[in-house]
Amino acid sequence: MRAIGRGLVIACFILAPAVAGEPVVPPWAYVVTPPRDPNTPQPAPDPTPRALPGTDVTFTATQMRDLFNVPDWYPTDHPAMPEVVAHGRKPGVFACGYCHLPNGLGRPENASLAGLPAAYIIQQLSDFKSGARKAVQPNLVPQVMMASIGVHAADDDVRAAAAYFAALKLRPWIRVIEADTVPKTRVGGAMLVALADGVEPIGTRIIEVPENTERTELRDSKSGFIAYVPKGSLKKGEALVTAAKPVACTTCHGADLRGIGPVPPLAGRSPSYLFRQLNDLKAGNRAGDWSGLMKNAVAGLSEKDMVNIVAYAASRAP
């Protein structure tokens, strides 16, 4: 009996990786910033004031690189930001609004925070702090920074930031387009940006790029994104989200995917971000206090299923 037991254990051990499957790490969802060539000189200080349409505010390129000062192009567009959102807390906590934008709409490499439940935001900071929340791709600079912010942020600052972002409304920010072909892209910062020329088949991918690369490079919080998704993905995604396998996603996230109580909304959010989360949850890399509630929901999802689901979620009105 014992020998059989041992044999079984060994057999399971050998079979386990093949059965569970290595997590996928698609480069369109986990965009790795290419390392800086040490031979290229640091950019020279550039005193030219940059401007955007619809605002009198200007910032220089040097100012825009300061992670303790949000380039707030539209100060009247949102309520007054708490100190930690506008300036962070030196030395370890960069300004939340720098990455997530003052209006909380976020970018594909981070997350929209506008309208997330405050209790949920506080829980996520705690998961980043404990190390329970990590991406399957460890070399993502913004994610590594976010984890470190979780470690260093004081409870008062987390509460203030959570209250601020929870009170904001998520607005339509990502235009979802079903397509067979997509623009060729390059990595710009930590996201994909469209090249001027050339198209390629979409495959099982989502290609999320700025509507206007130049404005996004200036961290314009009024210039959103386009997400190209595979043809037919919205319909398939809708079927998956409403199927009871074992419990429909909509039971917890709401029929309109706008969240219920502390369960986060999914509608109108970045599909690249949402894909990373499903994938990280499935791989067990996101294993926070509340992640167990997602365990059964993600267990049976294939990469294609996740693409279809997040395409549909992103296309819904926030």
**Rounded to the nearest 5 degrees, what angle is found at the Cα of 266, between the Cα atoms of 264 and 271?**
135
CA distance 55 to 73: 7
**Least distance in angstroms from the C-beta of 28 to ligand HEC:** 14
Distances (CA, A) of 150 to 66, 132, 199, 272, 289: 19, 11, 39, 22, 15
Report the residue number, 52 or 309, with the smaller CB distance to ligand HEC.
309
Asked whether 141 and 190 are in contact (CB, 8 A), the reply is yes
Report the residue number, 74 or 290, with the smaller CB distance to ligand HEC.
290
**Least distance in angstroms from the C-beta of 11 to ligand HEC:** 31
Asked whether 298 and 141 are in contact (CB, 8 A), the reply is no
**Least distance in angstroms from the C-beta of 43 to ligand HEC:** 19
CA distance 316 to 318: 6
Asked whether 253 and 266 are in contact (CB, 8 A), the reply is yes
Q: How many other C-beta atoms are found inside a 10 Å radius of the C-beta of residue 162?
A: 23
* Residue appearing with tokens 């698609």: 26
Report the residue number, 200 or 289, with the smaller CB distance to ligand HEC.
289
Distances (CA, A) of 304 to 46, 209, 230, 313: 45, 20, 10, 14
**Least distance in angstroms from the C-beta of 202 to ligand HEC:** 21
Query: What does the binding site for ligand HEC look like in residue numbers (CB under 6 A)?
Result: 84, 93-96, 98-100, 109-111, 113, 116, 121, 123-125, 135, 142-143, 145-146, 149, 153, 161, 241, 247, 249, 251-253, 263-264, 266, 273-274, 276-278, 286, 288, 290-291, 293-294, 297, 309
Asked whether 228 and 202 are in contact (CB, 8 A), the reply is yes
Report the residue number, 8 or 119, with the smaller CB distance to ligand HEC.
119
Report the residue number, 183 or 224, with the smaller CB distance to ligand HEC.
224
**Least distance in angstroms from the C-beta of 306 to ligand HEC:** 8
**Least distance in angstroms from the C-beta of 53 to ligand HEC:** 26
CA distance 212 to 274: 22
**Least distance in angstroms from the C-beta of 314 to ligand HEC:** 10
**Least distance in angstroms from the C-beta of 247 to ligand HEC:** 4
How is residue 169 written in tokens? 């409304």
Report the residue number, 69 or 184, with the smaller CB distance to ligand HEC.
69
Report the residue number, 223 or 285, with the smaller CB distance to ligand HEC.
285
* Residue appearing with tokens 């290595």: 22
User: Rg for the chain (alpha carbons), in Å?
Assistant: 21
CA distance 88 to 97: 9
Report the residue number, 161 or 226, with the smaller CB distance to ligand HEC.
161
Report the residue number, 8 or 67, with the smaller CB distance to ligand HEC.
67
Q: How many other C-beta atoms are found inside a 10 Å radius of the C-beta of residue 10?
A: 10
**Least distance in angstroms from the C-beta of 221 to ligand HEC:** 14
